[in-house]
Chains A and B, each alone.
Chain A
Amino acid sequence: SAVISQKPSRDICQRGTSLTIQCQVDSQVTMMFWYRQQPGQSLTLIATANQGSEATYESGFVIDKFPISRPNLTFSTLTVSNMSPEDSSIYLCSVGSGRADTQYFGPGTRLTVL
């Protein structure tokens, strides 16, 4: 399985500001995904980020709020824009295996918005 790292591991931010989360993979992957895990809740897919194309957002998530970059096959960023306390969550990136039948997750970024 791929080794996935995320930066930062945690952050505390003020409302109205933005935070960019980085996801780095140790091998080239076609599909990368961003998920949100709100406190005590399950995971919800935010968007799928494939290199060379625009990210595909799930219902309830929009590009203006969660812009995503995917400049190459080993890296992606998710920005949480104009944050409010409701954005306090763990944000996780994941990558698909060769056939994308299995997804492996990064350690997550724990975000607290005051």
Chain B
Amino acid sequence: GNSVTQMEGPVTLSEEAFLTINCTYTATGYPSLFWYVQYPGEGLQLLLKATKADDKGSNKGFEATYRKETTSFHLEKGSVQVSDSAVYFCALLHSTAGRRALTFGSGTRLQVQP
């Protein structure tokens, strides 16, 4: 079946540090890949996505590249801010027989200190 594995958190960084949150997946076929972010007390927001191999999704300084050869979709940001503190979820979308179900990773909490 489909699954998503994320690095465990919390990840604690100082402001302006480089961020990497690892995400690997298992799926048949060619899923679309997503990163969602959940700020404290808020709902889930789409951060970025990639729909095919070698695509790079980017938004708000965050980037992730769809690597089919390593089945990975690692999230990166060159310089984090305190406002980036949130829980980040990696997810894949697999379409079969008309169903389009998202499978989420366990989430990684990021804490950015001033």
Residues of B within 8 A of A (CB): 32, 34, 36, 42-46, 49, 51, 89, 93, 95, 99-102, 104-107
Contact = CB atoms under 8 A, between A and B. Distances in A.
19 contacts: A31-B100, A35-B102, A42-B107, A43-B44, A43-B104, A44-B104, A45-B102, A48-B101, A56-B99, A58-B101, A92-B44, A94-B102, A100-B100, A101-B51, A102-B32, A102-B34, A102-B46, A102-B93, A103-B102
A54 B33 CA distance: 28
A35 B100 CA distance: 13
B99 A48 contact: yes
A92 B32 contact: no
A17 interface: no
Interface residues of A, number: 24
B101 A42 contact: no
Contacts of B99: 48, 56
Nearest to A103: B102
Nearest to B51: A101
A92 B43 contact: yes
Contact of A42 (B93, B95, B104): B104
B89 A106 contact: no
Contacts of A104: 46
A82 interface: no
Contact of B101 (A45, A101, A105, A106): A45
A101 B52 CA distance: 12
Contacts of B43: 92, 105-108
A24 B60 CA distance: 28
Interface in A21-69: 31, 33, 35, 41-45, 48, 56, 58
Contacts of A100: 95, 100
A102 B106 contact: no
A45 B34 CA distance: 16
